[in-house]
Structure 1
Amino acid sequence: MPRAPHPSRKTFTRFASRQPFQFGLPNVSAALMQVSDNSPIYFTRATSLLRRQVLAGAPGVKIKSDSYRFQVLPRDGWGEHNFSNKSVLFLIPDDALGDCVGMALFFRALKQRFADIRIGVLNSGSASDIFALVPDIEIFQLFISSAQLKRFDHVIDLSEMEGWRDIATMPVNPEEALCEAFGIPPVPLEDRKVPAGTRRKVGIVPMASSPLRTLPPKLVSEITAMLAKQDCDITLVLNAYQGVMKAYKAALNDLGTKSDGNIRIIDGFKTIGDLVNFVGQQDYLVVADSGPAHISKLFQIPGLGIYSSADAKTLQGRHKNLRIWQSDFVGPHCAAPCGLAKLRATTDGKIGCMGSLSLPITALPDIPEKGDTALAQALVTSTPVPCVARLNENIPAILEEIAKDLLSS
């Protein structure tokens, strides 16, 4: 018999509002904006943007508690429940795109396994557009009302999944881990090929949220130049939300002005929904270890995924739409892939990784609390970490792999 529900790991803010309100994040499609429903109580994560920046100063809002915890099904009982004809609310641990793609794929499998299950997600945040690709899912971007909460038979806290506490430093594959935890098979995958012909649409997405995973500008420039000669329509997508975007764009040496008109550079998309639509419209992708690499799984877009610090086989899992190029750097203190998803810091504040600082992992105990813009810009332009720099040495071989994909179609 499954154990009785217990409190969720994360705390939530209980609040009341005497006035109607609505809220949505600026990088989420407007259709997913939330509105109040005259309930007496609402819940939001105690650490959410809504709690930190809006509620405290909002007129008519009264904070009841910042220590509320939902009663959730224990992890060891997830695979023992029959969720057919049940309503299940899932608490989303974070809104990292790659993790949420894995969760969305898991939800597809859950709907395939249990007839008429009704799924809701709370805390979906910036990744709400990812979950919107799952049919008939209810999305609570940042808050849920007491009336809405009553509609659910069960609440499940996905942060109880093994490995989630360390996901920022040691990536896992959420789709496979969750399917295994619930004892269900994943959904079948479509086999998509690169279409034949000319003027194929190729998307290049080189920037990740970490310098450990962002592709070096020289590599990106060489790939783009080669594709331009293949009569492809190339769109290079940067990330305007990252403080290093302008420096990275400058390091590309005005690539967009040196073409015959078939290279387009986009500084970024306004919403994640726009990014999702872009990925789904491409014929071929060249991507760093980033959200778009995972989004490609939702559509099975073919391409090449170029990985540095993280293990490509773990992150790609069963998905073979992207062929893999893994950095093969080996140094005195580390070898790629090392497993780090983010930079680390020494006890005296130096920021980097084992390779860039020439230190063992034991000397880098913490994730930096504060950013260093100058360092971040240098790491994505002039002085990348060794496993990323190694990719520049592989340029001829990487170009050959991409050319073979396009010529074989």
Structure 2
Amino acid sequence: MPRKLQPSRKKFTRFTSKLPFQFGLPNVSPALTQTSDNSPIYFTRTTSLLRQQVLANATGVKIKSDTFHPQVLPRDSWAEIDFSQSAILFLIPDDALGDCVGMTLFLKALKLRYPNVKIGVLNSGSASDVFALIPDIEVFQLFISSRQLARFDHVVDLSEMEGWQNIATMPVNPEEALCEAFGIYACPLAVRNVVAKPRMKIGIVPMASSPLRTLPPALIRSITELLSQHDADITIVLNAYQGVMKAYKAALGSLSDKNIRVLDGFRTIGELVRFVEQQDYVVVADSGPAHITKLFQTPGIGIYSSASAKTLQGRHTNLQNWQSGFSGPYCNAPCGLAKLRATADGKVGCMGSLNLPVEALSELPQEHDPKLAALLVTDHPVPCVGTLNDDTPEILNLIQRDLGLSR
């Protein structure tokens, strides 16, 4: 008996094109570039970069609707269906790396439960290289054609996942939430194995997409100086796609050891994924690379400020976790904020930096302020990040113990 479907939460754009076209994001591997297939209609998420920056001015393109809602399986039916011989298209609500790593781990578990299931992901955006790690998956990074859509038996909107609507203020673990929602077991994990050895590869990734989660440059200098004393090849990876990278690099200062290199970043997420896989040990902020370590169980230390290490790492123990212990009159770490917030009169920060209760910070900033962002990741970090500088000796001791090093 057919199941009753419901409209997706996310709105999609329906468009046509008189001319052949192809699109791919600059930070996604070229192999995942998409090409039109002469279908009568195409679909993309209304908030996608394709819709916002390309379609309105593309030659031969006609927008049919910006308010299309695909019919999807209701959340309460996910655990009831036998997907053994099914083809499922998953609507990806956002391309944040950490969330998409969790979704990828869930999809791996789904493949273990239903070996013959066919999986597609739509609007995977910048995280497309992460999803492509799953064998035989179809990755539609920016759009899908009506012919391609017709091949799928079911469509699932992953924004129906528990906790998704509040993810900006209280992070969730998508892997655990989705495995529970579908009634399946999580995939097995490799054993964490820390081996200190000559010329071991150590990757340090200190920058996150928010100043609330980017590690202080002084702390990174201290960690790098410690590790450079122990015959390691150290790579510090910044993020050229973030507007504060140059300011952060200047604050980091000169690191003269011949075994230390500083990269402005990688061209694609696929290159970042391969880097994390190749490292013997990592030091990471609460950022996409911290979650990427879960895919390979890369050992290391994760340093957390506003978000809960316990929540974000979940069952994964490959990273030793350090949690900021900041406590102030208006907040205690981890407060749960993933991004900066704004007051009604436009002040941008967090509870600790603005000395305001969370109720006064009900909005996301409407405009990006490059000067403020640079200041927050260099000279004036938010309190829970600044506290990490005070924790430097204990963090260094934790790394030493984990690697079996002596000073």
Q: Deviations over 1:49-78 (max 9, x none)?
A: 111221111111121111111110000110
Equivalent in the alignment of 2:153: 153
How much does 1:195 deviate? 2.6
> What residue number does 2:265 align with?
268
Which stretch shows the higher mean deviation, 51-60 or 323-332? 51-60
Cα deviation code 1:345-386 (max 9, x no counterpart): 111111111111111111111111111111111110001111
Cα distance in structure 2, aligned partners of 1:333 and 1:55: 45
1:57-68 pair list within 5 angstroms:
57-68=57-68
- 2:226 maps to a residue whose letter is M
Contact 1:3 1:74 in 2 (8 A): no
Cα deviations across residues 4-44 of structure 1 (Å, max 9, x unaligned)? Answer: 11111111111111111110000000000000111111111
Counterpart of 1:75?
Answer: 75
Once the two structures are superposed, the pairs formed by residues 140-289 of structure 1 within 5 Å of their partners are: 140-255=140-255, 258-259=256-257, 261-289=258-286
Partner residue in 2 for 1:351: 348
1:331 maps to a residue whose letter is G
CA displacement at 1:196 relative to structure 2:
3.8
2:112 alignment partner AA: Q
- Partner AA of 1:133 in structure 2: L
1:303 aligns with 300
Q: 1:2 to 1:324 in 2, by over 3 A?
A: farther
Q: Aligned partners of 2:174 and 2:326: how far apart in 1?
A: 27
Distance in 2, matches of 1:268 and 1:103, equals 24
Aligned AA (2:24): G
Q: Could you say if the C-alpha distance between residues 312 and 275 of structure 1 is closer, same or farther in structure 2, counting changes exceeding 3 Å?
A: same
Counting matched residue pairs gives 406
Distance 2:394 2:32 in 1: 43
Following superposition, the deviation at residue 114 of structure 1 comes to 1.2
Asked if structure 1 preserves the Cα contact closer than 8 Å seen for 2:22 and 2:36, the reply is yes
C-alpha distance 300-169 of structure 1, shift in aligned 2 (>3 A):
same
Structure 1 segments unaligned to the other structure (5+ residues): none
**Matched-pair identity in %:** 71
1:398 is the counterpart of 2:398: no
2:108 matched residue in structure 1? 108
What is the SS of the residue equivalent to 2:79?
A: helix
Cα deviation per residue 1:138-192 (whole Å; 9 max; x = unaligned)?
A: 0000100011001000000001112111111210000000000000000010013
Question: 1:365: which partner in 2?
Answer: 362
C-alpha displacement at 1:135, in angstroms? 1.2
Equivalences for 1:323-342 in 2 at 5 Å? Answer: 323-342=320-339
Instruction: Tell me the TM-score normalized by structure 1.
Output: 0.98
Structure 2: state its 5+ residue gaps: none
Q: Is the 8 A contact 1:2 1:80 kept in 2?
A: no
Deviations 1:97-142 (A, max 9, x none): 0000000000000001113000000010000000011111100001
1:9·1:157 contact (CA, 8 Å) conserved in 2? yes
Q: Secondary structure at the match of 2:402?
A: helix
Which amino acid is the alignment partner of residue 149 of structure 1?
L
User: Aligned letter for 1:104?
Assistant: T
SS of 2:302's partner is strand
* Separation in structure 2 between the aligned mates of residue 172 and residue 375 of structure 1, nearest angstrom: 28
- Distance in 2 between the 1:235 and 1:86 partners? 44
AA partner of residue 298 (structure 2): I
Structure-1 separation of matches of 2:12 and 2:336: 31
Aligned to 1:355, what secondary structure does the other structure show?
helix
Name the counterpart of 1:11. Answer: 11
Question: CA separation of 1:2/1:214 partners in 2, compared to 1, >3 Å: closer, same or farther?
Answer: farther
The match for 1:55 is 55
- Runs of 4+ in structure 1 over 6 Å off: none
In 1, distance between residues paired with 2:165 and 2:307?
A: 17
Preserved CA contact (<8 Å) 2:192 2:317: no
Say whether residues 1:387 and 2:384 are aligned partners: yes
Task: Find out whether 1:290 has 2:287 as its counterpart.
Answer: yes
Q: Distance in 2 between matches of 1:3 and 1:34?
A: 32
1:314-373 alpha-carbon deviations (Å, 9 max, x no partner)? 000000000100000111111100000001111111111111111111111111111111
Verify: 1:314 aligned to 2:311, yes or no: yes
Cα 1:335/1:342, change in 2 over 3 Å: same
In 2, Cα distance between equivalents of 1:204 and 1:364: 32
